[in-house]
Each structure stands twice: as structure tokens, then as C-alpha cells.
Amino acid sequence: MGPILALASNTYREAIRNKVLYSIGIFALLVILVGNFLTDISLHNDKRVLFDVGIGLLSTFGLILAVFTGTSLIYKEIDRKTIYLILTKPVGRAQFLAGKMLGLTASVYLVLGLMFVLLVGQSLFMGTGAPPQLYKAALLILFEVFIVISITTLFSSFSTPFITGMLTLGIIVIGRLLPDLKQIILTKYQADAMRDLADRLLQVFPQLYLFVPNGHDFNGQYVSLTAEFVTWGYIGWTALYALVYSGIILMISAVIFRRRDLT
Amino acid sequence: MKTAKPAQSPLEIRDLVKSFRTGFLQSKKVTAVGGLSFSLEEGEIFGLLGPNGAGKTTTLKMITGLIFPDKGEVKIFGHPSAEVKARARIGFLPENPWFYDYLTAREFLRMAGGIFSLRGPALEKRINGLFDQLGIAHAADLPMRKYSKGMLQRAGLAQALINDPDLVIMDEPLSGLDPIGRRELREIILGLKARGKTVLFSSHILSDVEEICDRVAILARGRLREIGSVESLLDMGTNGAELEVGGDPERIGAIADTLALEWVRSMTGGRVIISADADTATVLRAFLDAELPILELKRHRRSLESIFVAQSEKAKKEA
């Protein structure tokens, strides 16, 4: 674990010193704006507006941070040749990727954590309280961000930041819209073989819609941040899914990166 | 009866081949290193010489596991270079090392030490010792983006030595340094040798190589052209001698003419060129018998530069 932790703490330091924390200021401003203006025009739905917009911003910022900081995660190391000083030491390439991924995750989590504290503070200030739903929704965001970071690590291990960014954004869109895409396929194709094939192909993509359970969850129960939300069991299940999926992605990244010539 | 285990060579390279694909469709294959073999002896300073494009950096990258050979093998203290543990006993300084701008040298060395699972007071002591040894203690806590080239080179060397490696590999460590920096680096390399470390470095600066290397290998177009001790390489080209004789130039000239040797007048008398096929002892005796003082006898030797240039030209012609 020594090399992984050393690399993770270095990546974390890089992200923090890259002024990523400035995004907190923007978020704080947005939260305050939401609190002061949107709730005023929400016709007694101030709690709902604050929670929905706050969690929505948290999710959006989390994905933006993950994609923008993750795209150049490996590319920059190779382009600036700093990787020469790392991989010539007794550290495996899989360990290198794991360290980079964990460091980036820690830095994005720090920013999201501070944003969440602001959101809770604003909720308490406005007298709406901070119910468990908020914490559950925030945890789901962290899990989704973890998966997205693993995907940027995968693409970053063999392509440029632009391609990594585009591919990751594409996967986020597909992952969020998977149920709709499945429905379209079922409607479009009548042949069972085609349906099976399309269904299997879609299973390769991360089920990111699991982390934004708005409206109906899988038991047909209505979920909302201001009413009933997902259970803790659901949270545990999605955490496991995120860990396993990200682990598989990391292994694929390691296989691709293992024999790459660093010229 | 127990027999002593033979010492493992710090580095063994056998039939190393590496080619790259170039061009828009990656259709053109360029061989960067073609069938390279050599090994290092423990405690020696080994210089890897060659013109640009000779394959020096490619070879060093294959040794350190940054790129993978198409064929052949590299063993570091008996371990294949692709294995992580092969890199536990080496330190590597790349050419023009790049660092993380946002880190100070101390932070970078802490990270480097962390990779070797070094930590705590032992690591801090090691870091401070390296800063003192390399003369950058005053800048240890400055971000490295503020460093000059010489300071970056020293910081690079510090990270290469953080694990007290038994084999230190450096790619063009002397390039870009001023004469004082070069001298200091030469002393550091000699200091490593004095502590029993093995040093392998590539360089263009032949005078430094000639001064500090025990053995050198000359590469050209990816192939090994010459290998051996510096002395043996220089002696291989011994080509006669020059004799500085004092006294009357007319008498010196007369004796030289008798022996069918070329000569020129000099400030002190005359300089006689002893050709390779002439017997030096006979020439010396002729001048001593004439009671002319012998001021200097200098062997003509090839310089490392002439060997380097000759091999580069030869490789170019062959290509």
C-alpha cells in the first residue's frame, strides 16, 4: 500500500493546489442565491427547491470536477515526463493508476464534502432542517463520482484529455439514460436475438441512473428528497455496485497501461 | 564445503532489440536498438556514448522499464527489468528531469521515499543529508518551478539517490550544466563509486567520460561499436609518439633525417615524430648517444572523441 498511498497523496495535493477549491466559492454563492431567491418565488415549496437544486448542483459539480480533473490524470504525467521519475521506482503500473485514481477521488470528495456542509448549513439556517434524505442523496453522488473517476482513469491511460473528456461525457449520458435506451431498443427491435444483444451491450455501461433515483425507484415506490427516499439497504447495494464496477474498470485500465511504451 | 555465491552483475543486457513504428499510418519501422549486449561489473562507472539517435536513451528506458524490448532481456541484479522488484535497488535520473511544479523538493523527496516505503525520522534524515550533499538545502522548501536548470538536475539526482541505490542510472546528467556544476557532478559520481555503487550514464561530454569512467560503450545507430576500458580503447589507437629534444635544431634534424623521421623546429630544439613502425628505443638511443637532452616523450593516442566520430561516420556509411 505504501506506493499507492504516496501517489494518492501526491495527486490529492496536485488537485488541491490547482485551485480546484475555488469551485466551492462558486457553489457557496449559488447555494446562497438559491436560498435567498428561489425559495422566495417557490410558493411555499422552499424546502423542496432548496434540496432539489442543492443536491442537483452537488451532483453536477461532482461530475464536472471528476471529468475535468480526471481527463488529464495520466496524460499530463506522460506529457510532462514526470512519470519517468515514478515508474522507474518499485511501483507497478496498476499501483500507479490506483494511486492516481484514489488521490483524485479524495480531492473531489473533499470539495463535495465542503459543498455539502454549505448546503446543510443553508438548510438549517432556513429552518428546513437536514433530513437523512440529504445525506443519502449525497452518498449516492459520491458513488457515482467514484465510477466516473474510474472511467476517466481508463480513457486517460491511453488517450488524450479531449478524447477522454468526450468519451466520459458520452458514457455519463448513456449511463444516466440507460432505462430509456433499453425501452427504445425493446420498442425498436422485435427479434429476441437483437434485443438480447442490445441488452447485453447496454449492460457494459455503468448504471449511473441508480445514483439519481428521482421519481420512482425499482419497487415502484415514489421517492423524493422531501418525502420518502431510498432505503439504507439501497445505499449499501449501490456502494457495492460502484466498488465492483470501478474495480473492474481499474483492472482493464491496468491491463491496457501495463505494456504501454512511455517514450 | 560451502562455496561463495558469485556476485550478481548489477546489469546484464542480452540481444536487446527495440523498434518503433513511425509515419502517418505507422507503416515505417525504425530500429532504435538492434541486438545490444553488455553487462556491468559491480562498483564501476560505465559510460554509454553515442551521437544523437544512437539508441542511448532507448536503452536506458528499456533498462528502467519505461519501454519494453521487442526481443532480448535486461536483468538488474538478476531480476528481469519488467519486474517491480528489479527497480528496488536502482536510482534513475532522466535527461532534463521534469517535476511537479506545485511541489517543493522536500515534498517530492517525501513522495519518492514513500514509494520505497521509507517514512518518519529516517526519511527526513536521508532527505536532509541529500540536500546538504547536493547543495540545495537552501531551496529545499521552495516550489520547484522556481528552480534553475542546475538546481533541477540536483533535485533529480536527490530523488534518484533517495533509496541509497546500488545501481545509479543517469541519462545525460552533465548536459546543460556549467563547468562548476559538471565538476561537482563528477565528484558526486566518483563519490558513489567510492561507496561501492555502480554508475551507468550516457553522455556527449567526452572529456568528462574520459576522466571518470572505468569502461565505456560506444553506440551508433542502435548497435554496439566499441566496448572496453577507457585506457584500452585509447591505447588501441596508439599511433607512434612525439619526442621533444633540446639543443641545436640542426643536429636534431640531421639525426632525424638519418632515421628517416619527420621533425620540426621548436622553442627548445626540435620535435621529432616517431612513426608507428619505428622503434622508439632506437630513436631515443640515437639522441642520447649524441648527448642531446630528451625533454618529453609523448605517445600518440586516439582521443575518445576521435573514436566516437570515427564510429559514428562508419555507422553512417554502413547505413
CB A85 within 8 A of CB B105: no
Predicted confidence at residue A217, as pLDDT, reads: 58
CB-nearest to A6 from B68, B97, B115 is B115
| B97 vs A13, A85, A89: nearest CB | A85
| Res A73: pLDDT | 84
Q: Across the interface, do B99 and A82 touch by the CB < 8 Å criterion?
A: yes
Which residues from B are below 8 Å from A when comparing CB atoms? 20, 61, 64-68, 84-85, 87-88, 90, 92, 94, 97-100, 102-103, 107, 111-117, 156, 159, 163
State whether residue A215 is helix, strand or coil: strand
Contact A249, A150 (CB under 8 A): yes
Residue A244 DSSP class: H
Of B84, B98, B117, the CB nearest to A82: B98
Cα–Cα distance list, B179 to B150, B175, B285, B304 (Å): 11, 10, 43, 19
CB B95 within 8 A of CB B57: yes
| Mutation target among A1, A11, A80, A88 for the B interface, most CBs of B within 10 A | A88
B319 vs A187, more confident = A187
Q: What span, in angstroms and rounded, lies between the C-alpha atoms of B80 and B251?
A: 67
Contacts of A94 (CB under 8 A, 6+ apart): A250, A251, A254, A257, A258
Question: Is pLDDT of B30 > 90?
Answer: no
Q: What is the Rg, in whole angstroms, of the alpha carbon atoms belonging to chain B?
A: 25
pLDDT value at A259 more than 60: yes
Beta carbons of B114 and A3 less than 8 Å apart: yes
Would you say residue B236 has pLDDT above 70? no
Q: Do B87 and A81 touch (CB under 8 A)?
A: no
Question: Beta-carbon neighbour count of residue A66 at 10 Å?
Answer: 25
Minimal Cβ distance to A10: which of B87, B90, B111 = B111
Position A220 scores a pLDDT of 67
Identify which has the larger pLDDT, A39 or A188.
A188
Q: Taking CB atoms and an 8 Å cutoff, what residues of chain A touch B80?
A: none
The angle subtended at Cα A140 by Cα A139 and Cα A141, nearest 5°, is 90
Tell whether the model's pLDDT for residue B44 goes beyond 70.
Answer: yes
Would the pLDDT of B64 be above 60? Answer: yes
Which whole number is the average pLDDT over B270-285? 86
CA B240 – CA B314 distance, rounded (Å): 24
Which of these ranges, A17-26, A59-68, A88-97, B267-276, has the smallest mean pLDDT?
A17-26
How far does A238 lie from chain B, in Å, by closest CA?
33
Do the beta carbons of residue B165 and residue B89 sit within 8 Å? Answer: yes
Helix A232-258 vs helix A132-156: angle between axes, to the nearest 10 degrees? 10
Chain B: residue nearest A8 by CA?
Answer: B111
User: How would you classify the pairing of strands B45-49 and B198-203?
Assistant: parallel
- CA angle A11/A90/B177 to nearest 5° reads 80
Q: At what angle do helices A22-33 and A93-125 cross, to 10 degrees?
A: 30
Domain that includes residue A43, residue range:
2-259
Q: Cβ of B114 and A86 within 8 Å? A: no
Q: Which residues of A touch B163 (CB under 8 A)?
A: 89
Is the Cβ–Cβ distance between A181 and A207 less than 8 Å?
no
Residues of B whose CB is below 8 A from A18: 102
At position A221, the amino acid (one-letter code) is Q
Residue A156, SS3 per DSSP: helix
Structure confidence by residue, pLDDT tens digits, A103-156: 999 999 998 898 899 888 888 888 888 888 899 999 999 999 999 999 999 999
Cβ-contact B60, B171 below 8 angstroms: yes
Q: Is A222 helix (H, G, I), strand (E, B) or coil?
A: strand
> What's the pLDDT at A39?
72
Supply the pLDDT for residue A87. Answer: 94
Give the model confidence (pLDDT) of A201-219 as tens digits. 888 999 998 898 876 655 6
For A156-187, write each residue's pLDDT tens digit: 999 999 999 999 999 999 999 988 888 888 88
Q: Which helix (H) or strand (E) holds A9?
A: helix A2-17
Helix (H, G, I), strand (E, B) or coil at A223: strand
Secondary structure of chain B in the HEC alphabet?
CCCCCCCCCCEEEEEEEEEEEECCCCCEEEEEEEEEEEEECCCCEEEEECCCCCCHHHHHHHHCCCCCCCEEEEEECCEECCCHHHHCCEEEECCCCCCCCCCEHHHHHHHHHHHCCCCHHHHHHHHHHHHHHHCCHHHCCCEHHHCCHHHHHHHHHHHHCCCCCCEEEEECCCCCCCHHHHHHHHHHHHHHHHCCCEEEEEECCHHHHHHHCCEEEEEECCEEEEEEEHHHHHHHCCCCEEEEEECCHHHHHHHHHHCCCEEEECCCEEEEEECCCCCHHHHHHHHHHCCCCEEEEEECCCCHHHHHHHHHHHHHHHC
- Sequence-ordered list of residues with C-beta below 8 angstroms from that of B277, at least 6 positions apart, any chain: none
Confidence of residue A61 (pLDDT cuts 50, 70, 90): confident
Q: How do residues B2-11 score in pLDDT, each as one tens digit?
A: 555 567 899 9
Mean pLDDT of A80-91: 93
Taking the CA of residue B217 and the nearest CA in chain A, the distance in Å comes to: 23
The amino acid that residue A198 corresponds to is A
Place of cell 449499501: A236
* Cβ contact, residue pair A6, B111, below 8 Å: yes
Q: Answer left, alpha or beta for residue B164, where phi above 0 means left and psi between -120 and 50 means alpha.
A: left
For B110, name the nearest residue in chain A, comparing CA atoms only. A6
| pLDDT score, position A148 | 97
Please state whether the predicted TM-score (pTM) of the whole model is above 0.95. Answer: no
Given a contact cutoff of 8 angstroms between Cβ atoms, the answer to whether B144 and B101 are in contact is: yes
> How would residue A240 be classed by pLDDT, with cut points 50, 70 and 90?
very high
8 Å CB contact of B116 and A89: yes
pLDDT at A25 over 80: no
Residues B9 and B186: their CA atoms lie apart, in Å, by: 23
- Mean pLDDT of all residues in A37-59: 80
Whole-angstrom CA distances from B2 to B5, B183 are 9, 45
In this predicted model, what pLDDT tens digit does every residue of B147-195 receive, in sequence order? 888 889 999 999 999 999 999 999 999 887 888 888 888 999 999 999 9
- Whole-angstrom distance, CA of residue B91 vs CA of residue A14: 24
The residues that bridge with A82 in the sheet, in sequence order, are: none
pLDDT computed for residue B123 by the predictor = 94
CB-CB contact of A261 with B67 (8 Å): yes
Q: Which residues contact B207 (CB under 8 A, 6 or more apart)?
A: none
Among B77, B100, B107, B109, most A C-beta atoms within 10 A, so best to mutate, is B100
Give residue A21's pLDDT.
63
Q: Stretch B240-247: mean pLDDT, rounded? A: 88
What is the tally of structural domains in chain A?
1
Contact B163 A89 (CB under 8 A): yes
**A10 contacts chain B (CB < 8 A):** yes
d(CA A141, nearest CA chain B) in Å: 29
* pLDDT, chain A, mean: 87
Task: Enumerate the residues of chain A whose CB falls inside 8 A of the CB of residue B112.
Answer: 6, 85, 89
pLDDT greater than 70 at residue B238: no
| DSSP E strand stretches across A148-212 | none
Question: Which of A200-204, B79-83, B136-140 is least confident?
Answer: A200-204
According to DSSP, the residues that pair with B46 across neighbouring strands are B200, B215
Q: In the sheet that B215-220 helps form, which strands lie side by side, from edge to edge?
A: B90-93, B167-171, B198-203, B45-49, B215-220, B223-229
- Contact across the interface for A90 and B107, Cβ inside 8 Å: no
Distance, CA of B47 to CA of B202 (rounded, Å): 6
pLDDT for A203 equals 84
Strand A215-216 relative to strand B45-49, pairing = unpaired
Lowest mean pLDDT among A182-196, B15-29, B164-178, B274-288: A182-196
Which residues of chain A make contact with B88, given a CB cutoff of 8 A? 90
Q: At CA B162, angle to CA B161 and CA B165, rounded to 5?
A: 50
The whole-angstrom distance between B95's CA and the closest CA on chain A is 10
| Contact yes or no for B199/B193 (Cβ under 8 A) | yes
pLDDT value at residue B240: 77
Average pLDDT, integer, range A38-42: 73
Handedness of CA B227, B223, B9, B14 (dihedral sign): negative
Reduced to 3 states (helix: H, G, I; strand: E, B; else coil), residue A216 is strand
